[in-house]
A = this chain, B = another copy of it.
Amino acid sequence: MRWINRRPSRGATLVLHCLPFALLIVAYLIGSAIRLEANPNDKLLPSLATLADTVNRMAFQPDPRTGDYLLWSDTAASLWRLFAGLGISTALALVIGLLIGLLPVMRATLAPFIAFVSMVPPLALLPILFIVMGLGEASKIALIVIGVAPILIRDLSLSAQALPREQIVKAETLSASTWLIGLRVVLPQVLPRLLTSLRLQLGPAFLFLIAAEAISADSGLGYRIFLVRRYLSMDVIFPYVAWITLLAVIGDRLIDLARRRVFPWSELEGAR
């Protein structure tokens, strides 16, 4: 039988799913054991015991200096920024993306500019951003917005434009004004697509968040990672990276779940 037609059984699929993760863990353990043998104080690949110890300290012991549980206070700070950044980006994308997608005049005005802006490397403009927005939360949120919003706007305006012209004409024959077409025909149909774009932007959003927190912060996941990087505390960095990845995966799943719940018809559409 051709390989293309060979489907692993249920059990085999599960085993195959886990295989690369298992290999990764084994490789880590071996690497760690080798390095720790050479230097018992080695910090690059800490042992499982050290990792467990650190996780316990960060997540379940109050920090002696501030009394906070560091992992949770960092997570709270970062997630707040992330939500704010993504929320603002989404709102911007909805307004600007719909305007571009809907109105030829706005399209002529904004589309080339947005295409240009989406190519600007945001990290290089950080100094300006800090001076304009200050060093507080605003500039961190702004970095996420600058990094994420142009992509979302472009995606949204493209998917608004991709709606069959016939639907718009049809709505006009049903007495819709431009406003009503935007509100009742285009908006509801691009929302599911917006959620999908948002999922794809979760990774970049975390990236910008970490970059912003590395510049100036007093809490946050990125702050902690860059702070402890000063003394190569990989026993903190590894759990934090794993935690960020887990958060991103959970966010991804939640957004997809929300899309399927709130827009059941978008699933049907895909199933056809």
Contact = CB atoms under 8 A, between A and B. Distances in A.
A170 interface: no
A268 interface: no
B4 A103 contact: yes
B204 A108 contact: no
A79 interface: no
Contact of A12 (B108, B116, B204): B108
A8 B50 CA distance: 66
A124 interface: yes
A127 B4 contact: no
A52 interface: no
A87 interface: no
A171 to B, nearest CB: 9
Q: Say how many copies of this protein the assembly contains.
A: 2
Given A102-B4, A105-B6, A121-B244, A127 B232 contact: yes
A109 B4 contact: no
Given A6-B104, A119-B245, A127 B229 contact: yes
A61 interface: no
B206 A121 contact: yes
Contacts of A3: 103, 105, 178
Given A8-B105, A225-B124, A131 B172 contact: no
Given A103-B4, A245-B116, A20 B124 contact: no
B178 A245 contact: no
Contacts of A8: 104-105, 108
A33 B104 CA distance: 35
B178 A113 contact: no
